[in-house]
């Protein structure tokens, strides 16, 4: 890697000591990548590769990278069209383009095998990428994945989610609205909006994380390509959920052991989505984190790490791993007949 777009991450927070920011060339595109400095070829265990969600970046994984990288290499990138990775063209931010990007990234880094993590849109991208690099994936962790529910329409979205995402089903219209919103909202409002959607308890946001969120949003507002790329990504995400056959086929074709991590305070990925996954793939394990929102790896990183490490070690999901609850136990528990925090399709 060359250069360091984010500077000394250890100076920003002791929690991020050892993380390194740099740029790697992937088929002519300069991709921002963060690692823990361990050479993957010399890593005693399979590296972790982290894929962020819509509007996110590699920084979304900072709080879990040091612990999950204690015995191996860990790598998080800014997907083309996000963070500090300028896309070769704004349409390269589409989910299918970024699914093809993942095996190209592995080639550029010389990685033979990874444990693949995908949050939100990153979960969808990971599922679509799985058939393209099946032999190079050891295990998959899907954190609040943006995947279809049993219904392939938008009529069961809550009013706020319907207002946000229904226009994205019409090519060009959603992007125009997004561009207008982006221009009218200042950094503070954009951060407040993202926080309200993604965090169950905003009081959990530490000052160092808040400062990095502000820096990222300020940088994004200054990039002419950013809102266009976001529009392409959002439209392609919604279309993937509406025309769900390709995604469902990819889910059914995955041969890797897979863990789904979901917070029951998630405002974007509903219980309907997780139940549909359980119905499709009863062999997948599901860990529910009570009172956690859409970005568990940011909101309660220690719980995310505990769940993942326990599952990788012995395949178990129980209350001994970061207070996780297995899906069947959560459904059968108190309030099991309730609809959940919001019965909406996975849209972010």
* pTM value surpassing 0.85: yes
SS3 84: coil
pLDDT at 162: 57
pLDDT at 242: 83
Whether residue 110 lies inside any domain: the answer is: yes
Which residue would you say has higher pLDDT here, 39 or 58? 58
Averaged pLDDT of the chain: 89
pLDDT tens digits, 110-146 = 999 999 999 999 999 999 999 999 999 999 999 999 9
Whether residue 2 lies inside any domain: the answer is: no
SS3 5: coil
pLDDT at 270: 86
How many domains would you assign to the chain? 1
Whether residue 226 lies inside any domain: the answer is: yes
Whether residue 136 lies inside any domain: the answer is: yes
- Give the whole-angstrom CA distance, residue 204 versus residue 207: 10
Whether residue 341 lies inside any domain: the answer is: no
Q: Which domain holds residue 24?
A: 9-332
Whether residue 345 lies inside any domain: the answer is: no
- Give the whole-angstrom CA distance, residue 105 versus residue 101: 6
Task: Check which CATH number belongs to the domain holding 62 and give it.
Answer: 3.40.50.1820
For residues 162-175, give the mean pLDDT.
Answer: 68
**Residue 156, pLDDT above cutoff 80:** no
**Residue 308, pLDDT above cutoff 80:** yes
Whether residue 346 lies inside any domain: the answer is: no
Whether residue 342 lies inside any domain: the answer is: no
Which residue would you say has higher pLDDT here, 344 or 172? 172
Which of 164, 143, 185 is closest to 277 using CA atoms? 143
**Residue 45, pLDDT above cutoff 80:** yes
SS3 22: strand
């Amino acid at each position: 890697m060359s250069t360091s777009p984010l500077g000394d991450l250890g100076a920003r927070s002791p929690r991020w000591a050892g993380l390194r920011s740099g740029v790697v060339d992937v088929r002519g595109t300069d991709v921002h990548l963060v690692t823990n400095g361990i050479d993957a070829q010399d890593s005693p265990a399979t590296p972790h590769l982290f894929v962020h969600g819509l509007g996110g970046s590699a920084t979304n994984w900072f709080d879990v990278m040091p612990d999950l990288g204690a015995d191996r290499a860990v790598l998080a990138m800014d997907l083309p069209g996000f963070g500090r990775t300028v896309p070769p063209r704004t349409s390269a931010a589409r989910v299918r383009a970024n699914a093809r990007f993942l095996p190209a990234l592995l080639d550029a880094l010389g990685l033979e095998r990874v444990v693949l993590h995908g949050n939100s849109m990153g979960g969808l991208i990971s599922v679509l990428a799985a058939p393209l690099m099946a032999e190079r994936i050891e295990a998959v962790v899907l954190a609040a994945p943006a995947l279809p529910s049993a219904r392939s329409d938008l009529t069961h979205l809550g009013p706020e989610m319907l207002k946000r995402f229904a226009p994205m089903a019409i090519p060009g219209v959603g992007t125009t609205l997004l561009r207008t919103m982006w221009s009218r909202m200042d950094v503070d409002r954009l951060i407040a909006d993202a926080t309200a959607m993604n965090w169950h308890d905003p009081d959990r946001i530490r000052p160092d994380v808040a400062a990095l969120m502000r820096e990222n949003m300020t940088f994004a507002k200054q990039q002419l390509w950013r809102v266009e790329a976001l529009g392409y990504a959002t439209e392609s995400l919604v279309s993937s959920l509406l025309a769900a056959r390709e995604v469902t086929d990819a889910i059914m074709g995955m041969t890797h052991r897979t863990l789904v991590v979901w917070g029951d305070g998630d405002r974007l990925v509903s219980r309907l989505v997780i139940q549909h996954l359980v119905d499709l793939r009863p062999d997948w394990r599901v860990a529910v984190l009570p009172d956690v929102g859409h970005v568990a790896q940011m909101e309660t990183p220690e719980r995310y790490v505990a769940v993942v490490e326990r599952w990788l070690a012995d395949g178990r999901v129980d209350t001994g791993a970061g207070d996780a609850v297995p899906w069947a136990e959560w459904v059968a528990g108190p309030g099991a007949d309730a609809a959940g925090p919001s019965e909406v399709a996975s849209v972010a």
